[in-house]
Structure 1
Amino acid sequence: MFESFVHPVLLLLLAVASLVLGWTAYFVHSLRMSRGLFETKISIPYLFYSMSVFAWILSNAFFYSPLLLRVDNNVVVSMALLANLASASAFTFAYLVTRKLVNTIDSALSKNIQNVVFVILISAAIYWNHNVGHTVDGVSVYAIGRFHIDLGEQAALFFLSAITLIVLSFRNILLYSRRTRPLQHIKSLYMLFGISVFMVSTIVIHALIPLFWADFTMSWLPPALAMTEVLLMGYALITSRFYSNRHILFSLLSVLLSCVAITVPLVLVLNSISVYDFTFVIASSCLVTGLLWSTGYKSARRLSSLLVYGQALSPNQKINSLSREFQKSTNSAIEQIAQTLDIDQHDLQLVYNLQDEKAYTSQLYNQNSVLIFEEIEEQVLIHSSVSSVLQQLYLKMKRENVALVLPIFDHDNQMSHLLIARKKRSGHLYFCEEIHALQYVLKKAQGYINADRKVHQAQALANSIAHEMRNPLAQVQLQFEQLNVKLQQNAPRIELEKELLKGKVAIDRGRQLIDIILREVNDASLEQEPAVQTSIKQAVEQAVERYAFDSEEMRQRLSVNITHDFYAKINDTLFNFVIFNLLRNATYYFDSYPKSSIDISTITGKYENFVVIRDSGPGIPKSLQTRIFDDFYSHNKSGGSGLGLGYCRRVMKAFGGSIQCYSKVGSFTEFHLSFPVDSLLRTAQTLPEIDNTNDQNPNKESGQTLRPQSYTILVVDDKEVQRQLVKLLLNQLGYDAILANNGQVALEIIQNNSVDLVFMDIQMPVMNGFEAATIIKQTYPHIPVYALSGESGQRELDKISQIMDGHLTKPTSKEALLATIQKRRQRETIEV
């Protein structure tokens, strides 16, 4: 009995049935986890199809079980009819799945014809198999697995009806594959392969052989092979990620070669020593496999890669091996990855400014998260209930031709970069093995990428400062030389003062450039900066006035023509730096384009208002107009950080607007700064004065200037030259200054003297500025303390804003000191 029970076909069919049942359970689980992502109209027919195949397999397994010899012959005939009905049900629901796939793209005539044919075939199949005599007349049983079925008169028609449903299903999948989207094409290939196996095995074994040769020995094979269609069709329905055909072949070939390499020598050795002890054979096989598998598998993968790809490493292996390359150069590693993926180098980019990519970052949660365009497209175009966020993400990826977005995290598990890949030149998808390889290498290399970012940023900062400071320093040197000549010539005092003024303008220019560069490289969030409703005309004029032009002639080549003023909620300091950056870029080409000029104007609209900055310089090619906003990218300029326009875009986004570039090579370049219209705005507010003023006109004073009147100021700095410079400027403004070289000395001076205001450096020995300012605020809360330092780090700036009353950047100017003191004294007057 035991020998008959373990018929190998029975075991095979039971294993296949278990696999189908397990897969069906997984499919149901995927449906639940998808939260409605898969369409019910497709998933329900597929579930019925899977269960029909399951019933078909079990009904065939009956003929290879001991029950075949124990039950009445009527039961055996009924099981044969049940197998026919189960197969008909499988064909029916497989057809319905394909019918739903093409429901929106098939013609009305074709759908009507198929509906009529479908109803006729199903009705006939049920009629032919509901009773004995139509398809099955009887069954002769000889032994388990050995039987003969007497076919009825309609058996041929029944088989023909099943073949017709398979052919219709095949036709529908071919129609589905003609969709232009690559994802539908590869899904259809999976389904076509599964249904081809199903169709060929059924036609040959269940129709041709029984009808012509009356041989049923292989009748179990089509139900077993139906598993391939169940798996492939189900996989194509629930996923949008597929392995490439070459990778599947490479993997199968690697395993096959490994098994052959171990099995063949093992069999030859065992046969040569004539050992037939089953326990020894099993133990020897396990031992040899355990010892040799790793080495053999590696060799098999190299050989398989040579056979499939023509190279020693497969593409995903090459990507995995590039984690070491990131130690040397991030750019070089990215270039090699792009080459391996068969995309252009510029189509694979590391993005640093995550504030500009919130549409992506909001959908990425961990290292294993990934955004794939085809997946999102599938959800948006097929499912009508997707969120507006997902729709906007789809439109953004489509507009920017982005196919893949992967996150990179730092050591604090905070997202630091995005790897954005555009579509392949071939139009192919990013296959599953490529995505896994990218995730693996990015996870291994994320530390190197973050370190490279900091190094690159520091290099850009040093390079930019070194380059930009050459002109101001050269100007200062020139003024010294001219001043020396005039002194030797005993020139009048007024000429000497003119030379001094030019030197001061050059210094202001250098200080302003440093401020701009430090702003560019600062990664701080801009949304938290205070903003007020401001007249754009006044803001633009103020920014232009504060911009340190190299010469008056350069200033004359700029015109401000704002005939339509409007109001926008901005931070004046951030807005100034946007204008400064755009002016700096435009004036860069003044020497090489002597006839070029700059024009600033406005455009007002119903929903958006614009500031337009136009220059008649060399222009920017259309292909580069989107890239100029990328970090570290610079067009036709040497020495810059490549961060300026990216910073401008972040500022404009913080204002609720945007910045766009329009250009024609050899003609013009325009930057449009857009601001949303505030319909509730009724009155304008003037721009407040900023602490760090770089006004070029030292004689320009407000009508409300407050006279010193015994106002004592404490200057705290560990550098003698800085203390003396500030003291000189304060004395020129008419204020008394007391000097201290660290925070401890400053506290002692305040205890013994009447001090009205403190200018405090931060980094000092003995006691730093933060400690001293904290004690002063606790002990003498009425004394204002202003930071006078070169700090640019966000942490230090945040601490300054928490502890102190304001911040001036050193080296400071007379105008900045005067503006700060006057503003403070005006506040004190109002409070009194």
Structure 2
Amino acid sequence: MSIKQRITSAYRYIEPNLFFIGLFGCLGFPAYYLIWAYVFPQPYENLPLRLVCAALFLPFAIKSYLPSLFSRYKEKHFVFTICFCLPFFFCYMMIRNEWSVEWIMSFMAAIFLSIIIIYDWLIILICTTIAACSAALLGYLSMDNIGIGFHYSYLIVFSFSYFTGICFNYRNRIEIESKQLFSRSFSNGIAHEMRNPLSALYASQEVLLELLPETLTDDPQQHRLISNAEIHKLRNIIKDNISVINNGHSTINLLLNSIDSQKISPHSFQYLSINDVIIDALNVYGYQQKSDRQLVTYQINKDNLFFGNDILLRYVIFNLLKNSFYYKDKPNFKIVISVYSKNNETIISVKDYGKGIPLTAIKNIFTEYYTSGKKNNSGLGLSFCKKVITAFAGNIECYSTENISTTFIIRLPNVTSSVVEKMQFDLMCSKKILFLGYHNQLLSDMNHLAFFYNFTLLYKKTSSYDVTDINTNNYDCIIIDIDSIQNELLTKLYNHIATTAIKVILISHSNSAKEIVLSKTYQPYLFKYNHIDELQKKLITQIFTHKTPVNDGFITTNVNKAKVMLVDDNVSLRLYSGILLKNAGYDVIEADNGRTALSYLEESTVDLILMDSQMPVMSGIDATKEIRTNHLYSLHQNTPIICYSGSLDAEHREHLTNIGITDFLLKPSSKTTLLDIVHKWIDA
């Protein structure tokens, strides 16, 4: 970074506080003249020099009212003012006052102030050096001997002050910048992960509007009745939309709420089945083609629990699958996911037989913004995966043989390990637990556990308990002494919390426990109370036990007329756009990338191509270049190609037009926009 860039960066950093700096400078320099001249008289004072310093600070205080011409020089003025008014002025005054204690302390304060205002160590070093030398020179010209009162030990004190201030300020600045970088990368990652499902969701609404008649009537000349096949189609689309919304909502909320000082917060962590999470991930992953699922082999010797979050682990599996599928066109490509136990930890291995990663790249593979051999990749996925697995108290490693395979190894500790127990202990202090009952020993033991774990314990007598209390208290768990509660209240209580995430523990301490049947789908945890150790174990188990739900998909049809080719790696967008085009009377051909599209165009013709600009394997841009220049596609050199993209600026449009793109369509587009542009070029 050049000195000019450093100065610009330093100015932007302090600019919000310049008004207060200017105000203190304008008032402070004249005010301290009165203090040092009359209240605590010093051997030397200089009012004109102080007024010059005050004048230099004045533009900071009135910067909003200065002419625009001043803005050209504001950064230079900023550096000169701080350099002249702090290290130069205080060093000069210290020399003229014969190195008195008051001015030595003032000079040290000036060093700290300059470091706080200009955080860049190099600028401060240059400014301080120039200022101190200039002050010494001016002092020498004014009084010949500048060493009166000087001692070499002062240099040690000044150096310590300078370098200590630099180190602390630099560390603070690095921490701020790393938080900003993490926030940017995290928000970019969310945007990247959510753009496609949201686009698919938007497109599906257009399909719903297309399939639903405006009114229901038997008159075929007016409006048709909706058919059973269309009803089935509508229901499937709605189910898919609900799935997209739920997954997107839970993913965004979890990811946003899980960030705490650049780390994944463990507040949502629970015991989870590794097998269930991986199977769920494989079932809901957005494969480009149905056949892609057959490329993934999953094998597990024994299912184990891990302590973490299902959405976050699914996010990791999604990223590893996405990276692997990037090279799925390589001969004999496949992905093997294995789960096994070794040395008190569970190991998840994700191995793909793709291109492999060079040895020089592996050491940086989990670094933010680093990518290896992939176009249009943000380099955020694996770095966030590393944060997730680290938050699970585990580790993720990468091994690769170039042109053969790449293996990611995830190591997760067993739930009985000391590191997991430590995490649970730390998390218990944020829990809120309600105890309902009369048993004194049980209440006493609950109080002991509350003191030990520092969780919030509320005690209520069952005879006077009102279930509406749950509406105002966000309980994590309710412990009920079933020997002291009426069945009617117990059923009422269960019905009130059945749809919530609140855990219920039923405790019996008598020999004849009453029969409890609340629901066929969910039974609270019931055990006979004997000792506080058992109560502690059962409480921790229930607090961190989790249950999970599922998902669904759908199919469509075909019609006939002019041929439109849809080339997009997003299977949902191809599906929805295809339905709209088919219902408008077009014959639709689908391709998931540029290479697949070119293979079709070698043997058949189409009337129009809708092409996504960015796709794996071969982008729409590269495919367009081939169509326009390769003789194999001579029949399509004048075929309209509509670029389908998430964002297009003027410069990008011009570039795409030059390589042969006919027109542009923003993603997602409404039904009207999509059909208008297709009609426009097919009818041209």
* TM-score normalized by the length of structure 1: 0.30
Greater relative contact order (Cα 8 A, min sep 6): structure 1 or 2?
2
**Bigger radius of gyration:** 1
Flag the structure with higher helix content: 1
* TM-score normalized by the length of structure 2: 0.35
